[in-house]
Structure 1
Amino acid sequence: MSIIKKQSELHEDMVTWRHHIHKHPELSFKEDLTSDYIAAVLEANGIEMHRGLAVTGIVATIHGKKEGRVIGLRADMDALPIQEKNDFSHKSVHDGKMHACGHDGHSTMLLGAAVHLKENNNFSGTVHFIFQPAEEGGGGGRVMVEEGIFEKFPCEAVYGMHNWPGMAEGQFAVHDTAVMAANETLKISIKGKGGHAAMPDQCVDPVVIGAQIITALQSVVSRNVAPLDSAVVSITMLDAGFVSNVIPNDMNLTGSLRYFSTDVGNEVKAKIKKIVEGISHSMGATATFSSTPNYPATVNTPKHAELCANAAAEVVGSGNVLRNEKPSMGSEDFSFLLNASEGAYIWIGNGLVPEDGPEGGCMLHNTEYDFNDEILPLGSSYWVQLVQGILK
């Protein structure tokens, strides 16, 4: 049962908020106008807040009618460095910046829940509404934890939600454990011996070595990771050479590693190192391999996942709460909050994506993506049900 009804006054307000935020996208740690706008709505509704965590972050607080437990609800605020190709009235006015991942909708759904609960605080306890910057590669969740969010605003558990194109409007997905993968950046540097392209016999060609390494890396997951485990190795950037008739001295490869289990991640990295060093040495070159952790895996606490599933079922019915969806190899910095607190992260359906084009929706990080305004009441109602179900 959706507490916040479609076409209600609050729904109309949420559409206005969402369109404003979408129209004025800002990148990680620079969400100044977005933060100001959200703060203005909170202030207009008499909701207390703390500003400045992780530069632009906001933590708003609503107390129930009675004392009790304390939970946190989180939404992200930042946009992506993408040029929007949509042509509607609320398209981005900032060249090269776009809300292509729905963070405008995430912030709006949480804001709608806060406005509703301020006037309907018939629960026991306290809710902290966390508006977090810099999810898109900036690690805003990590910064909030490092700056003491859970010391300043202690929470028994923290909860997050992401829209999911390709899943029908009116559905939620709740995972018992793993939801999103860990993410590391891989760097490989090959040092050979350059020279004239017409005299390769006098050189140690790092490009040929790099090509063999890329090919060999395709076997790391398929032949070293157990079939029931998951990992992805992708080489995505190559840097070598400067002119057509010169074999370069060096070649640099950059890529991405994704995994759920730390043991699997370590196993994959050890194998990559052996391949890189082995192939390079066998061909007369030297090479180094390094990896830089970005985001850890997002893993739910099962008991909190169950609470989320119950709340979602109150909104859309148990038949529309998917419990066996595969986790995503994408990453999410809500993982830093879940490493510091128990909790759970769920998906809300943004609508099916047609095969013949973006009309009616498209996938995340697409130049023609837009958040579905019709799910705003569902997402806000889920937050309200979760609060009322936990803080009875």
Structure 2
Amino acid sequence: MLRLILTAAILAFGTSALADVDVDERAKQVEDDVIKWRHHFHEFPELSNREFETAQYIADYLNGLGLDVTTGVAKTGVVAVLDSGKPGPVVALRADMDALPVKERNDLPYKSTQTGEYNGKTVPVMHACGHDTHMAMLMGAAKILTDVKSELRGKVKFIFQPAEEGAPPGEKGGAEVMVKEGVLKSPDVDVIFGLHISANTDVGSVRYNSGGTMAAVDPFKVVINGQQAHGAYPWKSVDPIVTAAQMVMALQTIVSREIKVIDDAAVVTVGSIHGGNRSNIIPEQVELVGTIRTLDKAAREHIYEAMERKVKGIADSMGATAELTLPLDYSYPITYNDPELTQAMLPTLQRTAGKENTLLSKPVTGAEDFSFFQEKVPGLYVWVGGKPKDVPEEESPAHHTPDFYVDDKGMNLGVRLLTNLTLDYMAAN
């Protein structure tokens, strides 16, 4: 029923949720500024939980718009509220702020030469995942929505989030901390929208999915304890290496033999094995570290149970002991696009990008901590094209690499999407 009411209301407005707001024209007017902001962020990136100058730049701009701005949320986050003064829903819009320890290879006028500290080492820093564009697009939407304040109904909460890529070791950060600190309260958020630039999607296109869209991520560690012995006399040992080998193979059967993969994809990956130091010594201990990715809550729960069962059973069968830590140091829920909200806002995506450029996308096993917001309120997360149309997809540099590149032209659609999603949701409610 909610979906039908929202969809009918949005469709009733035709080309614009609020007839007096020409979003396309306003996005054109702010486009040069959006590009300027993006270039600044790209040239001066900062690592997770270290986005101090980035946050100040954003806060100064939002204060200049006359918004109610709060800084220092989840350490470096910035939150601003636009109050229309009229009753209506509270719509949240989110952008992430942090960069990565990657050395840029692109020859750009705004190329990053910055460094930062990560794990006690000085490292190069680059916006190698497009968070620079996310901030710039949200600032552009904030400008347009502030300019049309008199047309709004309700409030808009602009959330600039630190540490989406994960807080440094020993620290907490990101969306999880923002939620714990009350970012979705006072005023209480009704719905949240977010987007991610995509280096694999053509400029002018938007990709979306309903339900599980990005995977839950659950790192794990298994410590296997056996009995050390000389490599020439293995019968005197309880070999944790052989035990680990059996465990690695058995863990792969959780997905291949216990999960209904035709419904939802899942992954169990062992990413590192540590144990032993000489060819002729069977060690006392071996450590496995890996990650679990799931797109379905039931599958996630099943894998948790199966991990315990297989780790304990194999260790017992070998005369070893094993301790499973799951999750290890952090855990992200499933990035879950509320189906009713997704269907209700589909006309907005299609009107903004064009039906031919609004693409239903398959879920991915990457993860996003936007999911922490979606655990609390209905949310919709989409991908906006950043790949130049004349570049074949297979030649487009991947995210998190030194050659990562997205076209400035892709941001105009992102600004319009954030703005129209807000206007249409307000108009329908």
TM range (shorter): over 0.9
Aligned to 1:27: 47
Counting only pairs closer than 5 Å after superposition, residues 251-262 of structure 1 correspond to structure 2 as 251-262=286-297
Aligned to 2:351: 314
Counting only pairs closer than 5 Å after superposition, residues 70-149 of structure 1 correspond to structure 2 as 70-95=90-115, 96-121=124-149, 122-138=151-167, 139-149=173-183
Aligned to 2:276: 241
SS in 2 for 1:170: coil
The 1:341–1:8 alpha-carbon spacing in structure 2 relative to 1, beyond 3 Å, is: closer
Aligned to 1:222: 256
Greater alpha carbon shift after TM alignment, 259-268 vs 300-309: 300-309
Supply the distance in 2 between the matched residues of 1:123 and 1:297 (Cα, whole angstroms).
Answer: 32
Greater alpha carbon shift after TM alignment, 219-228 vs 197-206: 197-206
SS in 2 for 1:89: coil
Supply the distance in 2 between the matched residues of 1:75 and 1:269 (Cα, whole angstroms).
Answer: 31
Alignment partner for residue 203 of structure 1, among 233, 237, 240?
A: 237
Aligned to 1:44: 64
- Unaligned runs of 5+ residues in structure 2 are 1-14, 16-21, 116-123, 168-172
Contact 1:74/1:132 (8 A) holds in 2: yes
Backbone CA RMSD of aligned residues: 2.2
SS in 2 for 1:165: strand
Aligned to 2:341: 304
Supply the distance in 1 between the matched residues of 2:345 and 2:381 (Cα, whole angstroms).
Answer: 8
Supply the distance in 2 between the matched residues of 1:300 and 1:169 (Cα, whole angstroms).
Answer: 23
- Unaligned runs of 5+ residues in structure 1 are none
TM-score, normalised to structure 1, is 0.92
Q: What whole-Å deviation, never above 9, does each CA across 1:50-75 have from its counterpart, x for those lacking one?
A: 21211111111223374422211111
Supply the distance in 2 between the matched residues of 1:226 and 1:11 (Cα, whole angstroms).
Answer: 46
Structure 1 runs (4+) deviating above 6 angstroms are none
SS in 2 for 1:312: helix
Is 1:180 aligned to 2:208, yes or no?
no
Supply the distance in 1 between the matched residues of 2:88 and 2:394 (Cα, whole angstroms).
Answer: 51
Aligned-pair identity in percent equals: 37
Contact 1:314/1:385 (8 A) holds in 2: no
Greater alpha carbon shift after TM alignment, 197-206 vs 24-33: 197-206
Supply the distance in 2 between the matched residues of 1:27 and 1:307 (Cα, whole angstroms).
Answer: 36
SS in 2 for 1:98: coil
SS in 2 for 1:234: strand
Supply the distance in 2 between the matched residues of 1:391 and 1:277 (Cα, whole angstroms).
Answer: 53
Q: What whole-Å deviation, never above 9, does each CA across 1:212-258 have from its counterpart, x for those lacking one?
A: 21122221101001132321100001111223432211000000001
Alignment partner for residue 213 of structure 1, among 223, 247, 266?
A: 247
AA in 2 matched with 1:342: P
The 1:308–1:30 alpha-carbon spacing in structure 2 relative to 1, beyond 3 Å, is: farther
The 1:286–1:308 alpha-carbon spacing in structure 2 relative to 1, beyond 3 Å, is: same
The 1:23–1:184 alpha-carbon spacing in structure 2 relative to 1, beyond 3 Å, is: same
Counting only pairs closer than 5 Å after superposition, residues 339-378 of structure 1 correspond to structure 2 as 339-351=375-387, 354=392, 357=395, 361-378=396-413
AA in 1 matched with 2:346: A
AA in 1 matched with 2:376: A
Supply the distance in 2 between the matched residues of 1:195 and 1:114 (Cα, whole angstroms).
Answer: 66
TM-score, normalised to structure 2, is 0.85
- Shift in Å at residue 8 of structure 1? 4.4
Alignment partner for residue 285 of structure 1, among 312, 320, 325?
A: 320
- Shift in Å at residue 143 of structure 1? 0.7
- Shift in Å at residue 334 of structure 1? 0.9
Aligned to 1:330: 366
AA in 1 matched with 2:37: W
Aligned to 2:121: none
Q: What whole-Å deviation, never above 9, does each CA across 1:177-221 have from its counterpart, x for those lacking one?
A: 211111101111111122333333322221222122112222110
Contact 2:27/2:416 (8 A) holds in 1: no
Greater alpha carbon shift after TM alignment, 175-184 vs 160-169: 160-169
The 1:273–1:157 alpha-carbon spacing in structure 2 relative to 1, beyond 3 Å, is: same
SS in 2 for 1:183: strand
- Shift in Å at residue 315 of structure 1? 1.7
